[in-house]
Amino acid sequence: MSTLPAPQLPPATGPSRWPKLRGHLPALDGVRGLAVLGVMLFHFVGIMPPSSWGARAIVHLVGFGAYGVELFFVLSGFLITGILCDTRNGPHFFRNFYMRRFLRIFPLYYGVLALVFFVAPQIPLLRGPTLDYLVHRQAWAWLYAVNVYIAKDGDWSFSYLNHFWSLGVEEHFYFFWPAVVFVLARRPRTLILVSLAGALGAMLARLSGSLMGLSWWTTYTFTPFRLDALMLGAFLAVTARQPRGMDWLARALPLVGAAGGGLLILTFVWTRLISRELLELVLPVRAALIEILLACLLVWALLAPRQSTISRFFCSRAMVFLGTYSYGLYVYHHFISYYLASNDIDLQLAPRLGSLWAAVGLQATLGMSASLALAYLSYELFEKRFLRLKRLFGTANEPAPERPAEVRAAGPQVRSGAV
C-alpha cells in the first residue's frame, strides 16, 4: 500500500502512452467491480457473529469492503467532472447532462421505490412493522433524502432502504456541481483549487463534527460531510486534462501513496499499541487517508501499462462484468443481505450444516448470485430501454456513454458494527 510503483512516463514528444480520457475506459469498469465486490462481501460476510478469533478476523477484514463507497464516490467525481469538462462548450449543456443522469439513475431508483411502497404492501407475506415503518416515512426516499433522515435519527433506521443514503449524497452533488464546472471550466487552475478546497473542507468538517459530539451516522451520511471523495475525483479529472497533467499524476502517485500509506499504518499503530484516548480524532483522519489512497488506486488503474498485473486485473472479464451491472447490484443486494442479517439465517443454517462458516459461506454465495441475477435481468430487460434514449441528449463533443458508477455501500448491517 505504501510502495505503489510509478507508471512509466512517456517521452516528452511523440504519441502519449496514457489512455484517452474521452470514451469508455475498461479499467474503470474493473474499479467499479472491485468496489461492488467489497461492498457485497461486507454485507453478506460481515454479518457473521464474531464468536471466535478467526471469525473476528474475517469480520474485521471484510469490514474494509465498506470503503467501496469511498472508492465509488472518487470514481463518480472523476467521471462526472470529466464529462462536464468535455462537454462544457457543447449546446444544451445542462439539459443534456441532467437528462442523461435522469435516464441512468431515476428509472431503477423510482422503480424500486414503487415496488416497495405500492406493490409490497399488497402482498400479505411482506406486511409487517418494518414495511409499515418505511411506508409511513416514504417521502424521505422519494425526495432523495434517506441520508438526511438517517443523520437526523442517528441510526440505520431505514432498514431495507438504508443503502439509499449514498444515492442521496450523489444526487445532491449533481444539483450544484455542473454549475460550478460551467462557470470555472475555462479557468482550470481555479477549478482545481475549488476541488481541493471542497475535499479538504469536507474532511475538516467531519473531523470537527466528530470532536463536537455529532453522531457517527450524521458525519457518515449527511451530504456536507461526504463531499471529499467526490471532490478528490473531480480534482483528478481536471488535473488529468491539463497539459502534461497525466505525467504529473504519474510522478505524484508513488509519493502520495507512500506518504498516505505510512500515515495510515501509523493510525493503526497508535490506536492498537499506544492509546485509544484520541480515537475520535484518529478515525476521521484515517478515513481521509483511505480516501486519498483510493484516489491513488484509481490513478494507478488508469495509468498502468496494458500488460501489467494491475491492468490485467482491472480489465479482466470478471471485474468488468461486475462493474457493468454495479448499479443494480448495489440496489438489489442490500434487500437480500438485510433480510438475511435481520432474520439470523446463518445461525439457523449452522446446526443443519454443522458449521457456522459453512452457513455464512452458503448464504453469501447464494445471496451474491441472486443479486447478480437480479441486476443482470434488471439491466437487460428494464434499464436498457431508458439508456437507449440517452442518444437524444448527446453532442458532437461528448464522450462515449459511461457505464453505471453509482454503487454505494449501505453502512453497517444489523450485526456488523461500525467500520
* Cα separation, 383 vs 375, whole angstroms: 10
User: Is 398 in contact with 91 (CB distance < 8 Å)?
Assistant: no
Say which residues have a Cβ less than 8 Å from residue 321's Cβ, sequence separation at least 6: 33
Q: What is the pLDDT, as a whole number, of residue 417?
A: 30
* Cα separation, 131 vs 121, whole angstroms: 7
Q: How much is the average pLDDT of 291-300?
A: 96
Give the chain's mean pLDDT.
88
Say which residues have a Cβ less than 8 Å from residue 218's Cβ, sequence separation at least 6: 151, 154, 209, 225
Give the confidence band of 288 by pLDDT, cuts at 50, 70, 90. very high
Say which residues have a Cβ less than 8 Å from residue 66's Cβ, sequence separation at least 6: 38, 39, 42, 46, 409, 411, 412, 419
User: Is 148 in contact with 168 (CB distance < 8 Å)?
Assistant: yes
Q: What is the pLDDT, as a whole number, of residue 16?
A: 55
Give the confidence band of 396 by pLDDT, cuts at 50, 70, 90. very low
Collapsing DSSP to helix, strand or coil, 203 comes out as helix
* Cα separation, 40 vs 410, whole angstroms: 10
* Cα separation, 33 vs 38, whole angstroms: 9
**Size (the chain), residues:** 419
Each residue's pLDDT tens digit, 59-74: 888 999 999 999 999 9
Judge whether residue 279 has pLDDT over 80. no
Q: How much is the average pLDDT of 87-109?
A: 95
User: Is 332 in contact with 374 (CB distance < 8 Å)?
Assistant: yes
Per-residue DSSP letter, 393? G
Q: What is the pLDDT, as a whole number, of residue 395?
A: 54
Considering only CA atoms, which of 134, 206, 146 is closest in space to residue 170? 146
More confident residue, 48 or 149: 149
Give the confidence band of 148 by pLDDT, cuts at 50, 70, 90. very high
